[in-house]
């Protein structure tokens, strides 16, 4: 198959490209040539900034396009209009953040999506990436999905991942825990121990997207893992199992953390049970994606992959986010011990 | 380097042989040719039963060290040590943490007393055989201790004794550790024996094998307690390490010690669970391996052991019908139902 990937050089992109190449597909990249430009020297790269000029894509055809870098509806209107006659299928990487009410457990693909405020909607065509905020991100992604579906009805696939983790993760979210647990010592673990967690290894997601294309599956898919949500306890101890550094977890009460003005994700992946969103946040249904072939590797492989990626980048010892967290953690543990001792 | 391995084809033996071959050493095996005879076709083998006069056959072998992984009775170890004492500068005997006299003591070191048989059992020690051992497993530790002493008496200053805790990993057919990766892979509701803090110890057979050969290469003699993981490990970490090796959906239900004792459970009726109230067993999974660590014992992450064990189980056809596992699951089902009723 001939595949066009928009973006493709940061995090999910390489996982898709790696799998597509491994499965014998012919991959063309379209990007600005700015992020990791040396990643795929053997692949054809069409240079261009999707916000400015798509002309590099003109006059070509592919079996499918996978769009990993669309955030604004007008971006998708332009690319989908141009590509509707050039590709059979348009796969758009969206997000579980499209849903209107993330406090609702068991969200599936039929659940209601979020809407922009009227005021924001008015100026939607004038928005730039600077307008993508924590509030507008989900509704804009939902509108992006709608734009593709409108321009390529019955030929659009919307992949809605939650937290993606694994090699090349540019964020500090999941990666903090393998890093922290491998460092050893006393590790602050935030209660509740049974707080559910969902995440998907970028390699599982990338591989599955390629198979979605091969099989021509369309429509929306919640792409979250693992098979069922796992408790925070299972996540942390599972991640710990790939390391040999002596260390132990100190489980700190939610009330203690909340009383110190800490909230959701102020400690990576932490969702206080008392947060309004807690019931639904990590309880999204993946039934449709699983029925269409999404599988999940064991947690230990993901944790190992994250540590190997730190070593590949060579920034394990100098990771700023981690160092800052260590300072914050030490102070919290000190206060926790004082409180427990007093 | 040339080593002679007594046994060498069951569980620890092959791991030692594989590690020795990887080091470029020459390996000779002495065994009956009954256990896994297909293993190591290229190696020199001396056929014979070490528990009989056959043992004299090894006296013709010139080597740098003898590794004894199959000694259970002092008479057999004495005979083997006598047979090789002129031609082998080092004798490494694989003993067990059971050789400690008092397993109620936490943090046992090599300085702790050895287990000993007393009275009539001591008088009959050289008449004891495998049938006696099978009938009374409490003989195992004192016999291993007597084996250690037998080797040291014949080869003073040239004997290495390793006392591993539970050895786990590929080729383990004891069903002990295998239960956990297998169980996690089956999924569903999994009974987890509390409290979470119960200390566990185990050593990956590959790490032990590497240390065996390390002791030969470095000529380390004397007694060494061998235990992992690298850091103190509560059972919660062991279980989750096994769970993280599979992607099957499942959830742990932690039940209390009190509940388990009420169901008739005792230490080790669930693999690696030692009841905190079982004072006599408190030392079993808390031995001090710092001497071996200081002398070069390296221990891999639990995740690697769990994964290799699961792969070993699956490649040995241990599916949902695995008889030992299926029996354990029947007990588990009954206990989970009782736990649910009690809540």
A283 CB within 8 Å of a chain B CB: no
Domain spans in chain B, listed from the N-terminal domain onward = 1-164, 170-202+228-280+301-343
pLDDT attached to residue A341: 67
Q: How far apart are CA A325 and CA B17, in angstroms?
A: 46
SS3 B130: helix
Q: What is the CA radius of gyration of chain B?
A: 21
A63 within 8 A of A89, measured Cβ to Cβ: yes
- Provide, rounded to the nearest whole percent, the portion of chain B with pLDDT above 70: 100
A100 within 8 A of A114, measured Cβ to Cβ: yes
- Dihedral sign computed on CA atoms, order B95, B99, B105, B109: negative
- Alpha helices, H only, chain A: 12-22, 73-83, 118-122, 137-151, 176-183, 202-215, 232-240, 254-258, 278-281, 287-291, 299-313, 320-341
Please tell me the total number of residues recorded for chain A in this structure. Answer: 342
A66 within 8 A of A4, measured Cβ to Cβ: yes
Mutate which of A184, A230, A237 to disrupt the B interface (most B C-beta within 10 Å)?
Answer: A237
Contact A300 B237 (CB under 8 A): no
Contact B244 A238 (CB under 8 A): yes
Confidence of residue B243 (pLDDT cuts 50, 70, 90): very high
B314 CB within 8 Å of a chain A CB: no
Contact B300 A244 (CB under 8 A): yes
Would you tell me how many other CB atoms lie within 10 Å of the CB of residue A118?
Answer: 7
CATH hierarchy code of domain A2-163+199-223: 3.40.50.720
A43 within 8 A of A29, measured Cβ to Cβ: yes
A299 CB within 8 Å of a chain B CB: yes
Residue B218 above 70 pLDDT? yes
Mean pLDDT of B134-153: 97
B57 within 8 A of B48, measured Cβ to Cβ: yes
CA A69 to chain centre: 12
CATH hierarchy code of domain B1-164: 3.40.50.720
DSSP conformational letter for B112: S
Q: How far apart are CA A134 and CA A122, in angstroms?
A: 19
Residue A87: is the preceding peptide bond cis (ω within 30°)?
Answer: no
How many angstroms separate the Cα of B134 from the Cα of each of A249, B13, B31, B140, B322?
42, 22, 21, 9, 24
Q: Please write the tens of the pLDDT for every residue from A11-61.
A: 999 999 999 999 999 999 999 999 999 999 999 999 999 999 999 999 999
How many angstroms separate the Cα of A53 from the Cα of each of A8, A48, A135?
17, 6, 28
SS3 B251: strand
DSSP conformational letter for B315: H
Would you tell me how many other CB atoms lie within 10 Å of the CB of residue B304?
Answer: 21
Mutate which of B190, B232, B240 to disrupt the A interface (most A C-beta within 10 Å)?
Answer: B240
Q: What share of chain A is helix, strand, coil (3-state, %, to 5)?
A: 40, 15, 45
- Helix A232-240 × helix A299-313 angle, to 10°: 60
Q: How far apart are CA B219 and CA B80, in angstroms?
A: 20
A287 CB within 8 Å of a chain B CB: no
Contact B249 A240 (CB under 8 A): no
The tokens for B338 are 């009782």
Burial class (CB in 10 A: 0-12, 13-18, 19+), B49: middle
Residue B195: is the preceding peptide bond cis (ω within 30°)?
Answer: yes
A237 CB within 8 Å of a chain B CB: yes
- CA-based nearest distance A282→chain B, Å: 16
From chain B, pick out residues whose CB is under 8 angstroms from the CB of A297: 247
How many angstroms separate the Cα of B178 from the Cα of each of A92, B174, B181, B239, B270?
43, 8, 6, 12, 12
Mean pLDDT of chain B: 96
Residues 6+ apart with CB under 8 A from A270: A190, A195, A232, A257, A262, A264
Residues of chain A with pLDDT under 50: none
CATH architecture, domain defined by B170-202+228-280+301-343: Alpha-Beta Complex (3.90)
CA B58 to chain centre: 25
From chain B, pick out residues whose CB is under 8 angstroms from the CB of A286: none
- A44 phi and psi, to 5 degrees? -75, 125
Sort residue A314 into left (φ over 0), alpha (ψ -120 to 50) or beta: left
Rounded (5°) CA angle A28-A40-A178: 120
Burial class (CB in 10 A: 0-12, 13-18, 19+), A338: exposed
Beta strand residue intervals within A49-113, DSSP E: 64-67, 89-93
Sort residue A26 into left (φ over 0), alpha (ψ -120 to 50) or beta: beta
Would you tell me how many other CB atoms lie within 10 Å of the CB of residue B43?
Answer: 15
Domain spans in chain A, listed from the N-terminal domain onward = 2-163+199-223, 176-197+229-282+298-335
Would you tell me how many other CB atoms lie within 10 Å of the CB of residue B247?
Answer: 23
A25 CB within 8 Å of a chain B CB: no
């Amino acid at each position: 198959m001939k595949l066009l990937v928009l973006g493709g050089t940061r995090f999910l992109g390489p996982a898709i490209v790696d799998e597509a190449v491994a499965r014998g597909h012919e991959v063309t990249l379209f990007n600005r040539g700015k992020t990791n430009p040396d990643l795929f020297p053997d692949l054809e790269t069409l240079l261009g900034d999707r916000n400015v000029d798509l002309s590099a894509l003109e006059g070509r055809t592919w079996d499918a396009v996978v769009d990993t870098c669309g955030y604004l509806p007008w971006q998708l209107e332009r690319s989908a209009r141009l590509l509707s006659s050039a590709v059979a299928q348009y796969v758009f990487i969206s997000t579980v953040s499209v849903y209107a009410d993330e406090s609702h457990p068991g969200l599936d693909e039929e659940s209601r999506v979020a809407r922009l405020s009227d005021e924001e909607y008015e100026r939607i065509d004038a928005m730039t990436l600077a307008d993508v905020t924590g509030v507008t991100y989900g509704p804009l992604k939902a509108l992006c999905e709608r734009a593709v579906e409108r321009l390529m009805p019955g030929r659009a696939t919307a992949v809605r991942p939650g937290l993606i983790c694994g090699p090349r993760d540019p964020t500090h979210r999941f990666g903090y825990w393998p890093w922290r647990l491998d460092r050893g010592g006393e590790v602050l673990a935030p209660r509740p121990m049974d707080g559910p967690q969902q995440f998907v290894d970028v390699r599982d997601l990338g591989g599955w997207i390629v198979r979605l294309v091969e099989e021509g599956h369309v429509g929306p898919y919640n792409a979250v893992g693992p098979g069922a949500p796992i408790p925070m306890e299972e996540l942390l101890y599972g991640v710990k199992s790939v390391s040999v550094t002596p260390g132990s977890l100190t489980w700190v009460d939610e009330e203690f953390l909340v009383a110190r003005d800490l909230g959701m994700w102020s400690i990576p992946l932490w969702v206080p049970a008392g947060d309004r969103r807690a019931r639904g946040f990590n309880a999204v249904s993946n039934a449709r994606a699983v029925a269409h072939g999404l599988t999940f590797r064991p947690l230990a492989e993901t944790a190992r992959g994250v540590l190997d990626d730190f070593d590949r980048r060579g920034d394990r010892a100098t990771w700023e986010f981690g160092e800052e967290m260590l300072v914050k953690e030490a102070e919290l543990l000190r206060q926790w011990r004082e409180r427990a001792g007093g | 380097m040339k080593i002679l391995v007594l046994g060498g084809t069951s569980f620890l033996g092959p791991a030692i042989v594989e590690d020795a071959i990887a080091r470029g050493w020459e390996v000779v095996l002495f065994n009956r040719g009954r256990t896994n005879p297909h293993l190591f076709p290229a190696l020199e083998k001396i056929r014979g039963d070490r528990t009989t006069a056959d043992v004299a056959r090894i006296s013709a072998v010139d080597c740098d060290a003898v590794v004894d992984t199959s000694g259970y009775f002092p008479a057999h170890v004495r005979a083997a040590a006598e047979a090789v004492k002129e031609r082998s500068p080092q004798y490494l005997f694989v003993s067990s943490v059971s050789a400690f006299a008092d397993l109620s003591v936490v943090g046992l070191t090599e300085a702790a007393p050895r287990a000993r048989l007393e009275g009539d059992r001591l008088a009959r020690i050289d008449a004891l055989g495998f049938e006696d051992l099978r009938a009374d497993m409490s003989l195992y530790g004192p016999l291993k201790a007597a084996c250690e002493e037998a080797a040291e008496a014949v080869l003073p200053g040239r004997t290495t004794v390793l006392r591993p805790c539970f050895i786990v990993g590929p080729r383990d057919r004891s069903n002990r550790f295998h239960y956990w990766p297998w169980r996690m892979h089956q999924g569903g509701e999994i009974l987890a024996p509390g409290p979470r803090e119960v200390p566990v110890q185990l050593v990956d057979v590959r790490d032990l094998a590497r240390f065996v050969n390390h002791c030969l290469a470095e000529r380390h003699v004397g007694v060494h307690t061998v235990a992992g993981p690298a850091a103190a490990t509560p059972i919660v970490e062991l279980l989750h390490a096994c769970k993280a090796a599979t992607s099957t959906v499942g959830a742990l239900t932690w039940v209390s010690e009190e509940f388990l004792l009420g169901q008739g459970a005792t230490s080790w009726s669930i693999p690696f669970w030692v009841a905190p109230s079982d004072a006599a067993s408190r030392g079993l999974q808390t031995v001090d391996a710092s001497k071996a660590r200081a002398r070069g014992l390296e221990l891999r992450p639990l995740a690697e052991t769990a994964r290799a064990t699961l792969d070993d189980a699956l490649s040995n056809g241990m599916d949902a019908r695995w008889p030992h596992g299926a029996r354990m699951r029947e007990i588990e089902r009954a206990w989970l139902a009782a736990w649910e009723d009690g809540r």
